[in-house]
Structure 1
Amino acid sequence: MSFEKILIVEDDLVVRNLLQSIFLRHKLAVTCADTLANAAAALGREPFDLMVLDLRLPDGDGLRLLEQVSTMPERPLAIMITGYGSIESAVACMRAGAFDYVLKPFSPSQIDVILRKAQTYRQLVKVNSLLSDDPDDADGLLVGRSAAMSRLRQLIERVAPTDATVLITGESGTGKEMISREFYRRSPRRGQPFIKVNCAAISQNLIESEFFGHERGAFTGATERREGRFELANNGTLLLDEVSEIPASLQAKLLRVLQEREFERVGGSRTIKVNVRIIATSNRDLLSYVQAGEFRQDLYYRLNVFPVHVPSLRERTDDIPLLAEHFLRRFTRKHGVKVTGFSDSARGAMMAYRWPGNVRELQNTIERAVILSESGRPVNASALGLPVEIDAAAIAAAAQVWDAPSVVEPTAAIVEAAPTGQEAAAGAVASPGVTDPAGQVLKLDELEKQAIRAALKQMGGNRTQAAAALGISIRTLRNKLQEYREAGDPIDVGMDSTDA
C-alpha cells in the first residue's frame, strides 16, 4: 500500500523544492504550503497521507499544527523537520504524534528511507485493525494420525512454499481456515499481512468496497478514502473465505484482479497494482455452481490452481481420540477444571457419534463437558450429551481405536512431533519396516508385536515408558503381553519388566 497525497509545509524555497522533487520521483501528488495558515487551508480541502512539517514557520510553531492534526479523523502521518534540533523539541514532537523527526540538512536517501518506513507503518496499522488473534487452537493444527491427515500434511508441505493459488474445500467445521493459516505460516510470505475477507458475511452493496476500497464521496456515506482488502494484503496473503458467495456482478472484476494483479478503487480512476497470494475456501461444490451458471467457469479455474480437500471427521475417525485429548488439555487449562481424562462410556459415545458439525462440534462438545464435569473425575457420557446409544460393543470398539499405537502410513513425509521416548521407540521400530527380511509383507498384528518388542527393549523393559512411547495405555500393553504369553510367545522374556 503506497501513499498518494503529500503535504509539504516549509517556508524555505530550496528545501521545499528538494522535498517536492523527491516525492514527485515516487509519483506522488504533492501540495506545498509556506505558512501554517496555508497548510490548515489545504488540510481542510482534502485528506493527505503524509505531511512534512517544518518546526519553525513565519506565522508560528509547527508543533501547534501537529497537535491540531492529531485530532483529525483522517490525520496524515507527520514528519517534522528542523534546522534547530534539540532533545526537548524532538520529545515534544513525538509526544504530539509525529512519526519521525529529521534534522536539516538532509539527503534524498534519508527521505526515501523514511518514506518506506512510513508506508510500511501505515499498512501495518490498517492491517491490524482487521486482524483478530489467531485461533486459540493454533497449537492443534493438523492433529491426527489418519491416512487422510497424513496426505493433507504432505500437500501443505509441498505447496505452501510456492505462490500457487489454493482452493480449500470441505464441510463446515472441518478447519478450512486453520488449513489456510498453515499454508500462510509455511510460506515465504509469512512475515507479510494475512488478510481474511468473509464473502458470505458482507452485503452485496458493500463487498466491492471491501475488496477494492473506495474514494471519498464514491457513494453515500463514503466520507473518507478507504483501502480495500487486496490493497492491505499487498505482498502478503489474502483469504477469500466462502468464495462461492461472491455475487455474479463482482466475479468479473475479481477475475481481472487475479489475472492482472491490478484494480481501481470504487469511485476512483487510479490503477493500483498489488502482489498478493490468494487462498480461497468453500463448503460448496463450486463445480456444480459453475454448471448451474451461478459461478464463472474462468474464475473457478483461476482459483482451482491447487485444490485441497479437508476431510470430514467421519472420514478420519481414527483422529477422534487425539483431537479429544488435545481439546481436553486446552479446556482444562482454560477453565481451571482438573478432570482426569474420559470415561469408557464417554469414549464409546464419541466414537459412535457421526459428528455432523465436524471438528468444531467436537471442540465445543468437549469444552461444555469440561465445564460440567467434576474436578478429579473423568468426563462421562452424560456430560458430553451426545444423542447415541452406548453399549458394551461400542465401548469395546472405542477402546481399540483409543488405545491404538500412533502409527502413521509408512509413506507419510510429515508427522506430528512426538515425545522423546516415542521418537526413540520409533527409531527402534523403523528398521523392520513393513516387510520381513525375505521381502514378505507382514500382517498388522505382527507389526504391532515388533513395535512392542522394540519399545520394551529400548526402554529397558519398563512397561510404563514403553506404553507412553507407543502411545497406548499401560493396561493395553499388559493385555497384549498376556495374549503373547498365552500364545506361547512371551516377547518380554529376558527383560527386566517393570511398571515404573
Structure 2
Amino acid sequence: MKKKVLLLGGAWEKQAQLKSMLVRLKYAVLESGRAIHSEAPDLVLLDMRGEEPPCWERLHSLKQEQGETPVIVVGEKKIDSIVTAMKMGASNYMSEPFDAQDLKSVLMNIIDEHHLVSEIAALNEIAKEQPSWLLSSSSPAMNEVKKIVEQVAGTDVTVLIRGESGTGKGVVARAIYLHSRRREMPFVKINCAALPKELLESELFGYEKGAFTGAYQRKAGKFGLAHEGTIFLDEISEMHASLQAKLLHVLETGEFSRLGGEENEKVNVRIIAATSSHLESAVRSGLFRDDLFYRLNVVAIRIPPLRERKEEIPLLAEYFLRQYHHEYNKTYRPLTPEILAAFIHYDWPGNVRELENFIKRVVILGEEHCNLPLLLSKGTLSNGQTDSSPFSLKQVSRDVAKKLESEVIRKVLNQTRWNRRKAAEILKISYRSLLYKIKEGGLETSSS
C-alpha cells in the first residue's frame, strides 16, 4: 500500500516539481485543502521556499491540525529558519539543491521512525490492558511466580524469565512492568531470534547517517526509545556474541553507541530478558557469555509448563473462551464435558499458547471441527499408561469442581487471614463443612 504524502504551499512550478518526484518514488500525493479532512497522510511536506519572511504561523497551525503526523519543511538554506522550524516541531528541514533520491531517503527514515514510535505507543497500551490471567492462578507454582513478580516489580533489578515456549513469559514481563515505577514510560519488546545479527544491532541501538548503504539519516534504536522505561529482550539466548558484549556494556555503564557512531549515549532503562533455552549449557559450550549471564540472572523466574499446573486449565480455558466469543462477536457457548476432559488429560506441549489457539478454533469453527479424538489420543491416558479403568467424564468434572472449590476457599481464607468462622459466613456454609473441606482439599498443609 502506497504511503500518503500531503503536499502544501510553494509556488505552482515548485509544487509540481515536488509532486513529480513523489509520484516517481511511488508515493500517493494528497491534494491540499480537502485532504486534511478526508484522508490521513503518513507525512506532510510543507514548501516554504520563496517566502520572505517565512509564515511560521502556518507550520504552527499545521502541527495542531495534524497532531503526531510528521512534517518536513522545504525552505531556504538559512540557519535561523532551520532552527525555528525544528523548534516548532518539524521532523526535518530540506533546502535546495536536492534530488529524488535525497527526498526518498528523508521520507523513508521519517515515516519508518514515526511508525516505530507509534508501534511502541501501541505496545504500551497493549501492555497496560494485558489481563493478569497468568498471575491470578490456582496453582501453587504460579502463586510463587506471582510473589516474586510483586517483590521485584518495585525495583529496577534485572530479571531473567525462564520457561518453555508458550508458557507466558511475555505476560510475566508485562506484569512486572505494570507494577513497576516505570509503568507510565515505554515498554519495548524485541525478539532476539527473529532478526539476523546485523539487523538486530541496528534495531537495538540505532544507527548514524552513513553507517551503511541506505543509512541516509540517523535512526533511534529500541534502547533509545525505551529510555526511562523497560525493554524486554525475548529469546536472549539467540543473541550473537558481538551483541552480547554490547548489551553487557549497557548493563554495566548505562551507555551504548549507535551503529557507525563515535560517541556514547546515556540511557536509563530496565532490562527484562527471557529464554526458553538452558543458558547454563550455552555458557559451558561458549555460545553465551558467562559475565552477561550473571548480569542477567540477578533474579530468575521460572514459568512452569502447563502440564505441571493442570488445575489451571479449566480457568484458562474459560478465560480464553469468553475473550474470543467477545472478540469474534459469537454467542457464548460453554465447553462440553468431553472437551474439558480432553483438555485435562492432554499434556499441551505448546503450553498456554497452544491452549489459547485451540480455544480460538473452537469459538470460530465449533467443537465438531476441532479434531477432539486426535486431542484425546494424544492425552496422557494413551501415552504408554496402562489404565484399564474406564474414562469417566463425570469423574473429571468432579475433580475439576473440587479443585475450583478448593481455590475459592483458599482465597476467602487468605482474605480473612484464616478466620474460619468469618470465611464460613462469606462462603455461606457451616463451620463444620468448612473444616471438612479444608482437610479434604489439603489446605491446612499448603498454608503452613
CA-to-partner distance for each residue in 1:182-221, whole Å, 9 max, x for gaps? 1000000001111111100011122211111111111112
SS state at 1:183 partner: helix
| Match in the other structure for 1:397 | 396
Contact 1:143 1:322 in 2 (8 A): no
Q: Per-residue deviation at 1:162?
A: 0.2
Q: For 2:222 and 2:251, locate their aligned partners in 1 and report how far apart those are by CA, in whole Å.
A: 14
Percent of pairs with identical residues: 39
Q: For 1:89 and 1:217, locate their aligned partners in 2 and report how far apart those are by CA, in whole Å.
A: 30
Q: Per-residue deviation at 1:338?
A: 2.6
Going from structure 1 to structure 2, the CA distance change for 1:157 and 1:91 (only over 3 Å counts) comes to same
1:170 aligns with 2:163: yes
1:266 aligns with 2:259: yes
Going from structure 1 to structure 2, the CA distance change for 1:394 and 1:90 (only over 3 Å counts) comes to closer
Q: For 1:289 and 1:257, locate their aligned partners in 2 and report how far apart those are by CA, in whole Å.
A: 21
Q: Per-residue deviation at 1:344?
A: 1.9
Q: Which amino acid aligns with 1:396?
A: Q
Q: Which amino acid aligns with 1:455?
A: L
Going from structure 1 to structure 2, the CA distance change for 1:296 and 1:92 (only over 3 Å counts) comes to closer
Going from structure 1 to structure 2, the CA distance change for 1:116 and 1:318 (only over 3 Å counts) comes to farther
| Match in the other structure for 1:71 | 45
| Match in the other structure for 1:455 | 427
SS state at 1:356 partner: coil
Higher helix share: 2
Q: How does 1:378-417 map to 2 (within 5 A)?
A: 381=372, 387-388=378-379, 391-393=390-392, 395-408=394-407
Which consecutive unaligned segments of at least 5 residues does structure 2 have?
A: 1-42, 48-52, 72-82, 92-110, 383-389, 438-448
Residue among 216, 228, 238 paired with 1:235? 228
Q: For 1:166 and 1:116, locate their aligned partners in 2 and report how far apart those are by CA, in whole Å.
A: 40
Normalised by the length of structure 2, the TM-score is 0.66
Going from structure 1 to structure 2, the CA distance change for 1:272 and 1:340 (only over 3 Å counts) comes to same
Q: Per-residue deviation at 1:387?
A: 3.4
| Match in the other structure for 1:302 | 295
Contact 1:195 1:238 in 2 (8 A): yes
Q: For 1:89 and 1:246, locate their aligned partners in 2 and report how far apart those are by CA, in whole Å.
A: 44
| Match in the other structure for 1:91 | 61
CA-to-partner distance for each residue in 1:115-149, whole Å, 9 max, x for gaps? 79999xx9997532345552786353424210011
| Match in the other structure for 2:119 | 129
Contact 1:156 1:183 in 2 (8 A): yes
Contact 2:70 2:90 in 1 (8 A): no
Q: Per-residue deviation at 1:314?
A: 1.0
For these two proteins, the number of residue pairs brought into alignment is: 346
1:318 aligns with 2:273: no
| Match in the other structure for 1:195 | 188
Contact 2:346 2:375 in 1 (8 A): no
Q: Per-residue deviation at 1:165?
A: 0.2
Contact 2:187 2:231 in 1 (8 A): yes
SS state at 2:378 partner: coil
Going from structure 1 to structure 2, the CA distance change for 1:185 and 1:124 (only over 3 Å counts) comes to farther
1:211 aligns with 2:201: no
Quote the RMSD (CA, aligned, Å). 4.3
1:223 aligns with 2:204: no
Q: For 2:170 and 2:404, locate their aligned partners in 1 and report how far apart those are by CA, in whole Å.
A: 29
Q: Per-residue deviation at 1:161?
A: 0.6
Residue among 150, 165, 176 paired with 1:157? 150
Contact 2:342 2:376 in 1 (8 A): no
Q: For 1:191 and 1:228, locate their aligned partners in 2 and report how far apart those are by CA, in whole Å.
A: 20
SS state at 2:210 partner: coil
Contact 1:164 1:277 in 2 (8 A): yes
Contact 1:345 1:395 in 2 (8 A): no
Q: How does 1:242-257 map to 2 (within 5 A)?
A: 242-257=235-250
Going from structure 1 to structure 2, the CA distance change for 1:386 and 1:210 (only over 3 Å counts) comes to farther
Going from structure 1 to structure 2, the CA distance change for 1:385 and 1:124 (only over 3 Å counts) comes to farther
Q: Which amino acid aligns with 2:399?
A: Q
Q: For 1:173 and 1:387, locate their aligned partners in 2 and report how far apart those are by CA, in whole Å.
A: 18
Q: For 1:130 and 1:431, locate their aligned partners in 2 and report how far apart those are by CA, in whole Å.
A: 46
Q: For 2:309 and 2:248, locate their aligned partners in 1 and report how far apart those are by CA, in whole Å.
A: 35
Going from structure 1 to structure 2, the CA distance change for 1:137 and 1:383 (only over 3 Å counts) comes to farther
| Match in the other structure for 1:282 | 275
| Match in the other structure for 1:431 | 419
SS state at 2:197 partner: coil
The structure having more radius of gyration, on CA atoms, is: 1
Contact 2:120 2:187 in 1 (8 A): no
Q: For 1:429 and 1:92, locate their aligned partners in 2 and report how far apart those are by CA, in whole Å.
A: 60
Contact 1:127 1:193 in 2 (8 A): no
| Match in the other structure for 2:137 | 144
Q: Which amino acid aligns with 2:396?
A: A
Q: For 2:393 and 2:429, locate their aligned partners in 1 and report how far apart those are by CA, in whole Å.
A: 34
Contact 2:185 2:230 in 1 (8 A): yes
Going from structure 1 to structure 2, the CA distance change for 1:358 and 1:402 (only over 3 Å counts) comes to farther
SS state at 1:308 partner: strand
SS state at 1:140 partner: coil
CA-to-partner distance for each residue in 1:13-62, whole Å, 9 max, x for gaps? xxxxxxxxxxxxxxxxxxxxxxxxxxxxxxxxxxxxxxxxxxxxxxxxxx
CA-to-partner distance for each residue in 1:88-112, whole Å, 9 max, x for gaps? 895367458899xxxxxxxxxxx9x
SS state at 1:278 partner: strand
Q: For 1:428 and 1:451, locate their aligned partners in 2 and report how far apart those are by CA, in whole Å.
A: 6
Normalised by the length of structure 1, the TM-score is 0.59
Q: Which amino acid aligns with 2:45?
A: T
| Match in the other structure for 1:344 | 337
CA-to-partner distance for each residue in 1:393-419, whole Å, 9 max, x for gaps? 465135312443454599x9xx6xxxx
Contact 1:366 1:384 in 2 (8 A): no
| Match in the other structure for 1:185 | 178
Q: Per-residue deviation at 1:177?
A: 0.6
CA-to-partner distance for each residue in 1:260-311, whole Å, 9 max, x for gaps? 0112111111210000100000000111100111100000000111101111
